[in-house]
Amino acid sequence: MFQRTIIVTAFAGLAATTAMAQTAVPFALDWKFEGPAAPYFVAIDKGYFADKGLEVEITEGAGSLDAIPKIATGAFPVGFADINSVIKFLDQNPGAPVTGIMMIYDKPPFAVIGRKSLGITDDPKSLEGKVLGAPPPDGAWAQFPIFAAENELDMSSITVEPVGFPTREPMLAEGNVASITGFSFTSYLNAARLGVPEDDLVTLLMSDHGVDLYGNAIIVNTDYAAENPDVIKGFLEAVAMGWKDAIADPSAAVESLMERNPAADAELETRRLQLSIDANVATEAAMAGFGLIDEDRMASAVEQIKLTYEFTNEPDVASYFTEDYLPEAGFPLE
């Protein structure tokens, strides 16, 4: 996939006689420069990173799992990735220097998007006997086994077609598959943009059908964080301010996105951002303290992951997420 890297230098204020040096912080996104990425560009354009003495470099990703090895190897200090995939990665790579530090998608956008005209309804059982298109690196596909187990789907009756991210929605639009896995705010709108009537689209949000997991979070290389705690704290505060502004005015936030992706459809990306805010980000729990997690819910999520994944090592919930770099009450979004 074509990958762009946007480097934006945010100039810090000058001291009385000398300029303050900035710290470069490369940030690995999970996906392309679309609506839900806008808050991070808002944080650049409004100087929130600069105020913390940070120079931010944002790089596109190739899926919800993409950033994890980038962070674990130290290629990037911070990234954005599916926390459930982080949990599995840490089980397979004990002691790897990566953990979650700020929950963004309190309610995950993992979904199956299908077409009514091809037999898909709001009942997960309608997937049986049909063809499902799923990109192997897709975060939603990674959680599909839990969705299938919770809804007692007969997987032997579902034909799973491995597809690439660029061909996923086109295959659905062309009727080559009856449904696809993806993020609700991405695949739904992409399919509609390709000409699928919206009244023919069905969104099966996994969290509405028994999947009780968290979604994507800011993750960090723990070695870097231990050596640069103030950098990480400042980075998270700037991110929170970017999201706060985006929630207050999604259209204005997308203007920052359009500067980096002028080929995008501003109206479409504003809608995509709004969908992510409404369904995934601005939940009741997040509005009470953005960035935090509930320990009992995380423990429950680990138990649910066990339904379809056999841990090699005893799960250690404390290693998957830390609130050490967040305010005690989280960040305010209002």
What residue ranges do the domains of the chain occupy? 5-106+214-319, 110-208
CATH number for the domain formed by residue range(s) 110-208: 3.40.190.10
- Which CATH fold would you assign to the domain 5-106+214-319? D-Maltodextrin-Binding Protein; domain 2 (3.40.190)
Convert the pLDDT of each residue in 307-329 to its tens digit: 888 999 999 999 999 999 999 99
Identify the residue with better confidence: 3 or 304. 304
- Please name the residues in contact with 293: beta carbons below 8 A apart, sequence gap of 6 or more: 100, 103, 214, 321, 323
Number of Cβ within a 10 Å radius of residue 154: 11
Of 240, 215, 241, 239, nearest to 106 (Cα)? 215
- Please give the Cα distance from 295 to 293 (Å, whole number): 6
Convert the pLDDT of each residue in 92-123 to its tens digit: 999 999 999 999 999 999 999 999 999 999 99
| Helix (H/G/I), strand (E/B), else coil: 2 | coil
**pLDDT at position 3:** 42
**pLDDT at position 24:** 97
User: What is the pTM for the complete model shown?
Assistant: 0.85
pLDDT band at 17 (very low <50, low <70, confident <90, very high): very low
Convert the pLDDT of each residue in 292-310 to its tens digit: 999 999 999 999 999 888 9
Same fold, 5-106+214-319 and 110-208: yes
DSSP-assigned beta bridge partners for residue 4:
none
Of 149, 151, 55, 147, nearest to 109 (Cα)? 147
Q: What are the Cα distances from residue 101, in Å, to 98, 264, 278, 303?
A: 10, 30, 22, 21
pLDDT band at 20 (very low <50, low <70, confident <90, very high): low
- Please give the Cα distance from 13 to 112 (Å, whole number): 47
Per-position b or e across 3-33, b if 16+ CB within 10 A of its CB: eeeeebebebeeeeeeeeebbebbbbbbbbb
DSSP secondary structure code for residue 231 in this structure: H
Q: Which two tokens stand for residue 112?
A: 């199956």
